[in-house]
Amino acid sequence: MLEFLRQYKLTYMVYNFFHKSLLQHNELVYKKLGLKKKYYSSISSKDFEQFPGGQEEHYSLNEDDVKKTALFQTLPAKDQESLLAFAENGYAVLSGYVAPEVCDEINQQIESGVATGKYHFINEGKIMFAFRSIAQLEAIGKNPLLNELLNVLIRGKAILFQSINFVRGSEQFTHSDSIHMTTFPLGGLLGVWIALEDIDDDNGPLHYYPGSHKLPYYLNKDYDNEGSAWKLGNKSYPAYEAMIERKIEEQGLQKKVFTAKKGDVLLWHANLFHGGNPHTNPQKSRKSVVFHYFKEGAVCYHEISQRPALMK
């Protein structure tokens, strides 16, 4: 019965109706654009097709602005080079950004929280929003120096939306975050992933495709999943994953694997293709956390279910 109801937009609209405080931020943007939408309405890329500027055609970055940030000036040369290539590659690496003892403290709090029932795993071993109750995570996610840099990369003000902690590798197939955390205008999202322990080929390292962020944003219409006025598209998520695999082959993109040391950080653009390699050694964990940031003033939603994002 629940799966049946999830096919219909009305199901989500009823849920949204009772969460006005977390959704009303979108109404100002809807009004500005002339969209006849309520805070509880379904929303998807189809609603924005009439507006210019929704599709980012070329990603540029002012290198001088990056160089002026306080964090950039403290980084080793290789990390500075990585940041200056962000527009070209779609990602950057900050090596050893988080101190090992801070990583250990976060891991300890996650472990004890799971043991006591404070935290619960969902969807393939994820712990959501732990930054709201773990001071060390909040301090990283809202660090003024990091946020200054993120503001430059996102070309606006970066707002921390969520954290996701992992104990094991996600093994998630290659995707763009913009199918799950979509924005209007497109590109209003950044990912900040942190290794909370050493990660090698055995325990499910991240993989990514440099330069893939320059490709179009592949959304519902690109795999015939827009649905109708009342019903969501009926394509399965594997249909999206298969489309991305085809695009990778067609473009001849080259895969890179991020084998990380504890405290290393990978920053990525909203449209960078990435995922998790297989976790081949069941005896090893893969402790990590990813923060997602939205650009202030962007409409934020989930393209597949056409739900506006709940924003505190």
pLDDT in tens, 247-295: 999 999 999 999 999 999 999 999 999 999 999 999 999 999 999 999 9
Pick from 70, 67, 303, 269: which is nearest to 158 by CA?
Answer: 269
Percent of the chain with pLDDT over 70: 97
Q: How many Å apart are CA 182 and CA 198, to the nearest integer?
A: 31
25-29, 62-66, 198-202, 209-213, range with the lowest pLDDT? 25-29
Query: Structural domain tally of the chain?
Result: 1
Q: What is the CATH number of the domain that holds 67?
A: 2.60.120.620
Q: How many Å apart are CA 52 and CA 48, to the nearest integer?
A: 9
Strand-pair partners of 139: none
Pick from 173, 170, 150: which is nearest to 97 by CA?
Answer: 150
Q: Which pLDDT tens digit goes with each residue over 58-95? A: 567 889 999 999 999 999 999 999 999 999 999 999 99
Q: How many Å apart are CA 85 and CA 151, to the nearest integer?
A: 16
Q: Which domain holds residue 21?
A: 2-308
Contact 145, 275 (CB under 8 A): no
2-11, 229-238, 295-304, range with the lowest pLDDT? 2-11
